[in-house]
Structure 1
Amino acid sequence: MKVIVAGAAGLLGRYVLDRLRATGHHALGLSRTGAGGHAVTDYSVASLVPLLAGADAVVDLAATRPRPGAQPDMTSTVVTGTHLLEAAGRAGVVTLVQASSVSVYDPAAPRPLTEDSPTLPRTAYGLAKLTVERWAGLDEHAAIRTVSLRVSHLLGGRDDTGYLVSTYLKLAADGKDLPVHEPLGPARDLLYAGDAARAIELALTTPTARGPFNVAGLHLLTPAQLAQAVSDTVGGRVVGGDPAWRHAPSRPTSDEVSTDRVRDVLGFTPAHDVRSALVEIREELDRDRSLCPGA
């Protein structure tokens, strides 16, 4: 299968390209800068149509990721997503997989969240993702089989978002202390980006798959539990807080998000919990340092 991966330079893009190429697909990455050897595009329809010509499928990972304390302009996420849909239609692409987000749901909706739960995003990021999902549902795009994977919080190497996961990973890689300020919350599930890439491949290769699917990790972890897991697997010493907070049993993600549909239709369950994912990430960081000793 020939697959075009838009947003290939992002956190998830590297994992998706590696997964697709390792399993025998011809995968081409797109990015605005061309860094990493990806094809360059400004994500205009005119630029995208020739790049998508002859492709069997497109994976839309192109999004502006929010950062702490910033009010991001999510217009580019919506414009890029709609342009990919239009260009795919013009180029005759029959399958498009979108990396959406669990943030499209109403935070007040009853738990666990299912694909039928109310969508009422309270963030610009969630609103942008839901808008692109809805755009794919327009009649003019009916010929394209679109799958929207509502992915939870990603855990992967080279995460530079500045949120807690990336902060702890950077501190741990440098052998620094991991501060804990909050005892119990908010508890969030973390999905290894390599597992998310496998879910994307399954969405591409399952002809009956269409519409939204929740894709989440196995357990809900508090910041204290995350800090302890990072310390145990990557490095760094946890400082602050009650040790009992860090070693409390984790809750199953199924309390928060139902992943029954992605299991039943795509046959997907995560292969990693947080700790085994962190072991993989530690190995990735070690490889990166060996390739770029001065980095």
Structure 2
Amino acid sequence: MRVMVTGGAGYIGAHVVRALRGDGQTVGVLDDFSTGSRARLDPATPVYAGSLLDTAFVEAALRDFEADAVVHIAAKKAVEESVADPLLYYRENVTGMHSVLESMVRAATPRILFSSSAAVYGPAATSPVTEESPTVPSSPYGWTKLMCERMLCDVAAAHNLSWAALRYFNVAGSAEPHLADRGETNLIPKVFRAISTGVAPKVFGDTYPTRDGTCVRDYIHVCDVADAHAAVLKQMGSDLSASVYNIGTGTGTSVLEVMAAVRQVTGIDFHHDICAARPGDCADVVADPTKIRTRLGWRSRHDLKGAVESAWQAWSALSRSGS
């Protein structure tokens, strides 16, 4: 298939591009480069630089590339930022999805694989969460992802699109240094940045109803996430799909346990600061990935230590190179 990946120059997107190419797909990238980097892409990759909110541009890109499928990853994704600036998130994520779907219908692109989030579940769900667990998000970010899923389902039914949504849990790790997570929102690179500059990492809240009082999450290696995209897209190539899948390990790790893993991997002993809990954070969100394992045979292959080790190796390499 010819697959257009929105946000393909970003951290997760570039890993997905790598996995799809390794699986024999022909891949193009559509990105506004607000957070993505061309350094993550093979120079031979067709790139369409522009905004998802420009529907005419997106349609033209799909037609020019002759796309058989869209993998829609581009989005704003920080829970705390979404609480502070919900209008930004509704515009970028929800209006962005509207633009992608409208462009697909106009260009007759028949398949879409959407990057959703475990943030759709919210505090009403009990871990481990299944795809049937309650979806009552606790942040505007989570609501934008749930709204996009609803839009996807409705538009697909009206226009005979094949679709799937992948609810990522907490993505970490790196396949190669140039693909590293350089963002400001994910826990592990935030800890690396802090300890590399002699600053104590922050732990937001220590009175949650969890085993050590800090938030518990399911940390999944980005290579596993990328492989899940390849597995689902391969199935979509032969069947009319309408599916939602959890993409996680099924194992929960607290923030303090992540700190301990970072100390073990890096050999750096550091202190952390306890701060007030952030609005929109849930106490415990861990995946039940049974559905995708049963239907497609996909399962995670990496543990937390492997994710932290690969992330630290990439971070260290980039630090040495000055990137």
User: TM-score w.r.t. structure 2 length?
Assistant: 0.78
Deviates more, 1:123-132 or 1:255-264: 255-264
Q: What does the per-residue CA deviation read over 1:53-87, in whole Å, with 9 as the maximum and x for residues that have no partner? A: 21111111111122646623212110111111121
Q: 1:46 aligns with which of 56, 59, 65?
A: 56
Q: Hey, what does 2:278 align to over in structure 1?
A: none
- What SS does the aligned partner of 1:107 have? coil
Task: Identify unmatched segments of 5+ residues in structure 2.
Answer: 42-46, 174-179, 207-211, 274-283
Q: Hey, what does 1:155 align to over in structure 2?
A: 172
Q: How many residues align?
A: 280
State how far apart, in whole Å, the 2-side matches of 1:176 and 1:141 are: 55
Task: Identify unmatched segments of 5+ residues in structure 1.
Answer: 242-252
State how far apart, in whole Å, the 1-side matches of 2:126 and 2:271 are: 35
State how far apart, in whole Å, the 2-side matches of 1:218 and 1:176 are: 33
Matching of residue 74 in structure 1 with residue 74 in structure 2: no
User: TM-score w.r.t. structure 1 length?
Assistant: 0.85
Q: Hey, what does 1:58 align to over in structure 2?
A: 70
Mapped contact 1:11–1:158 kept (Cα < 8 A): yes
Read off the aligned partner of 1:158 and give its amino acid letter: D
1:141 positional shift? 4.5
Mapped contact 1:155–1:190 kept (Cα < 8 A): yes
Structure 1 segments (4+ residues) deviating >6 Å:
none
1:271 positional shift? 1.1
Q: Hey, what does 1:294 align to over in structure 2?
A: 322
Q: 2:142 aligns with which of 117, 123, 126?
A: 126
State how far apart, in whole Å, the 1-side matches of 2:299 and 2:234 are: 16
Higher relative contact order (CA closer than 8 Å, sequence separation 6+): 2
Q: Hey, what does 1:200 align to over in structure 2?
A: 229
- What SS does the aligned partner of 1:117 have? coil
Q: 1:263 aligns with which of 293, 297, 307?
A: 293
Q: Hey, what does 1:249 align to over in structure 2?
A: none
1:147 positional shift? 0.3
Read off the aligned partner of 1:100 and give its amino acid letter: S
Q: Hey, what does 1:190 align to over in structure 2?
A: 219
Q: Hey, what does 1:19 align to over in structure 2?
A: 19
The CA RMSD over aligned residues, in Å, is 2.5
1:193 positional shift? 1.5
Matching of residue 232 in structure 1 with residue 261 in structure 2: no
Equivalent runs, 1:244-283 vs 2, <5 Å: 256-283=286-313
